[in-house]
Structure 1
Amino acid sequence: MDFLPVFQSQVLFRGKDVINHAAIVGVDVRQCSCKEQQSCTKEMKEQAADCFQPCWSGIREVNLCVESDSGPRIQKTNISEVFRLSERAIAHKTDSLSSIIPNSIRKIVETASNFGICLKTCFLKKNENGFCFDRNECQPLILEMKAKRTLRRCTRSINWKKEAGELCQCSVDAGLS
């Protein structure tokens, strides 16, 4: 069984669960204007760059906004919960995939998972007083199908073999074997 296509399909499948479970039932918020969304997206990119600059190289700008500052009311999503559930979904998939990946690669996958957790922790710490979207009292409209297409396009844009090779070399250089 080829590890990468299985991993990609599971990340896409889990994306739906993450979005659904992060929804705050009964709470709505104004949809962000494009100006607000651009400002918040810029701030989030700068914060994440402080944690790890190259992570943003494969991410395209989210464009799920409206032109006016008085956008429609949409269901609010708990952004911290999205991060938590995403981490849990990836950790679960890493655990379940451990039976099909060779022992020699298992440490690399675990290291990559730990790196992702570290990145998430750093990003949440930078936003412990609230995300930019929260301060603006708005959020982008996250549509499940658009999120899946974006994630699929993003995962396809990543050169998995190159990234895995670099991670492997980095792991070897760090003393993992």
Structure 2
Amino acid sequence: MCTCKEMSDCYDSAKKQAFDCFEPCWNETHSYSLTQFPDKLRVCFENRRGFVDNIVSCLRTKVKACADDEEKAKQRHDVKNYDYQDMIRRVDDIINEHIRTFLNSITSNYAKNLFVKHVVNAAASVARCVKNCFLEKNKDGFCFDRKGCEPEITDQNAKLAVRQCSRTVNWKKEIAELCTCSSQAGVSGISDYCGMLNIVG
């Protein structure tokens, strides 16, 4: 079993890896030709780091899978290996579900829909790339494998943590802020919808 410090270190390591993956994955947006000012748009996406921080911190707290001290951790030898790819898939599924719900709920104005979907699809493409990059970085084992410990993650706790942490996110606020920033960075055709999101939110 892992100590809470070991678990915290591994969560921080995972977060850093995800941020490192953002650098090459930003290139995914080039094929969408969203703006003449890609560097300004990039800042909009980089400013969503707080969103990632909040999700990771929430999962760290809600999973409840570590021992407070080293002695307690050593006493537990029966902790089974957890399928981290399964947890990543669950988080990915929930994010995709929110994206689908958002796209299905947007205004019926076809032209505006196309612009908004274009931005959302670009963001989803970056997120998908970051996920694949992260898995590639850990193909030979995750941080816990290298530390020689295993967090005691029960399937029930994992499902509950993913659901609870998803609910703590103000998805409308996140999307509205990204929308407004993207509009100011030169992405055309979305400013009216950003304003509507802010009013409704």
- TM-score, with normalisation over the residues of structure 1? 0.61
Seen in structure 2, the aligned counterparts of structure 1 residues 126 and 114 have a Cα distance that, compared at 3 Å, is same
Percent identical residues: 33
| 1:83 corresponds to 2:50 | no
Corresponding position of 1:175: 187
Alignment deviations for residues 24-79 of structure 1 (CA, whole Å, 9 cap, x no partner): xxxxxxx3233432332232233234345431134323431133234242332332
Once residues 66 and 162 of structure 2 are traced to their aligned partners in structure 1, the CA distance between those partners, rounded to angstroms, is 18
Which of the two has greater helix per residue? 2
Uncovered stretches (5+) of structure 2, i.e. residues with no partner? 23-48, 108-112, 190-201
> Is residue 73 of structure 1 aligned with residue 78 of structure 2?
yes
Give distance in 2, aligned partners of 1:164 and 1:33: 36
Per mean C-alpha deviation after superposition, the further-off stretch among 108-117 and 145-154 is 145-154
RMSD: 3.2
One-letter code aligned to 1:135? R
Q: Which has the higher strand share?
A: 1
Q: Work out whether 1:59 is the aligned partner of 2:56.
A: yes
CA contact (8 A) 2:15 2:56 kept: no
How many residues end up aligned between the 2 structures? Answer: 147
Larger radius of gyration: 2
Change (3 A) 1:43 1:167: same
Q: What amino acid sits opposite 2:150 in the alignment?
A: Q
Does structure 2 retain, via aligned residues, the 8 Å contact 1:32–1:138?
Answer: yes
Alignment partner of 1:42 is 2:12 = yes
**Aligned with 2:81: secondary structure?**
strand
State the partner residue of 1:141: 152
Amino acid at match of 1:75: K
1:1-150 correspondence to structure 2 within 5 Å: 31-51=1-21, 53-54=49-50, 55-60=52-57, 61-62=60-61, 63-66=64-67, 67-84=72-89, 86-87=91-92, 90-91=95-96, 94=99, 99-102=104-107, 103-104=113-114, 105-150=116-161
Asked whether the 8 Å contact 2:18–2:134 carries over to 1, the reply is yes
CA contact (8 A) 2:91 2:162 kept: no
Once the 2 structures are TM-superposed, how far is the Cα of residue 164 of structure 1 from its aligned partner?
A: 0.9
Q: TM-score, normalised by structure 2?
A: 0.55
- Separation in structure 2 between the aligned mates of residue 112 and residue 84 of structure 1, nearest angstrom: 18
